Amino acid sequence: MEIDRLPASVATLYAELLEQALVRERTAGVEGSLPGGLVTKAIRGRRYLYWQVRTGGRVVQRYLGPDTGDLRAAIERMAERRQDAAAQQASLDRLAAMVIKGGALREQPAVASVIRLLADLGLFRRGAVLVGTQAFRAYGNLLAVRLPASALRTQDIDVAHEIDMALAAAGEPGTQVEPSLAALGLLPVPGLDPRQPSTSFHMRGRELRVDFLTPARRGAGETPVEVPGLGVCAWPLRFLDYLIEEPVPAMVLDAKPALVRVPRPARFALHKLWTAAARGVSEQAKAVKDRAQAAAIITVLAAERPDDLREAMAALAARPSARRKVMTELDRIGARQSSWVAR
């Protein structure tokens, strides 16, 4: 498979965009990122300050306190931080537009809006990882290549979350994912057992779907698992822990780009081969797509980052059953004899 590379100038701009987004994530204060504006209310002859935010067609007001000079000074400092945040966002938007104009893959608007919402809610900062085809789409820009169009098509958004990571972030303010998704028109999909909470959300009249996943724990069974601090449940999947261990940052490109975390590309490729082998006959078309995505990533990494593939293979040593399946699939795509494959 021939590698279709993006221009070096585009790769450089993307790297700068990613670096700026990471700096903004580390330095942005919670107050500085809040949308909305200040409003004053007079109640029984006294004046009070509220912070007003419009979300999903609703107006929400948060009480701040009596209208005093000290409080207004604090709000002014917050407004200055908000202006800094707005300038940072404008810089990110300009860089993203330049990267897209240079030939990088731009995400579909509806999908991008959902991923951006999840990023704004802090999911990826708190340990969530974008997996599935949306991660594959992000790899093209991350690796500065154009990936096969046939392997890119989907509007499914798969988000994996390690429960221990969520617990580690439990000190942060909690968020409610489900109402935010509902504001975008994404509603819970009932499971086979109506007594269990939903782990999937679907946009009526469209193919857009969001699925929340988590690594299966030995002996825990197949039941939805609550993700602490997010107000959402995730479906447990085997071998997912291998995929999402030590994820890397990436950008989902749109008019307003979103900083996400994705699996390491080499692990993504080998996990896709395992997934292809595990699929039943009724999912043959998905298995073909899995192999196509794996082959595309492996082609790029084998040429430019073979050590990444060796590390991903080495991590399979403790999982002999998974390793056998992956080796069989490497035969299928003609990569078994590659120098990076451990014998």
Q: What is the mean pLDDT of residues 230-235?
A: 90
Tokens of 305: 């980052």
195: number of Cβ within 10 Å: 5
- Top pLDDT among 81 and 33 is at 81
Digit-coded pLDDT (tens) for 35-68: 667 788 888 788 888 878 776 567 777 777 788 8
- Backbone dihedral region for residue 207 (phi beyond 0: left; psi -120 to 50: alpha; all else: beta): alpha
Q: Which of 117, 82, 158 is nearest to 254 (CA)?
A: 117
For residue 294, give the nearest of 339, 243, 220 by alpha carbon.
243
pLDDT band at 207 (very low <50, low <70, confident <90, very high): confident
- Render pLDDT for 107-161 as a digit per residue (tens, 0 to 9): 999 999 999 999 988 899 888 999 999 999 999 999 999 998 877 777 899 999 9
Please give the pLDDT value at position 71. 77
d(CA 262, CA 316): 19
Among the listed residues 157, 240, 161, 230, the one whose alpha carbon sits nearest the alpha carbon of residue 200 = 157
Contact indicator for 179, 125 with CB cutoff of 8 Å:
no
Return the pLDDT at 276.
95
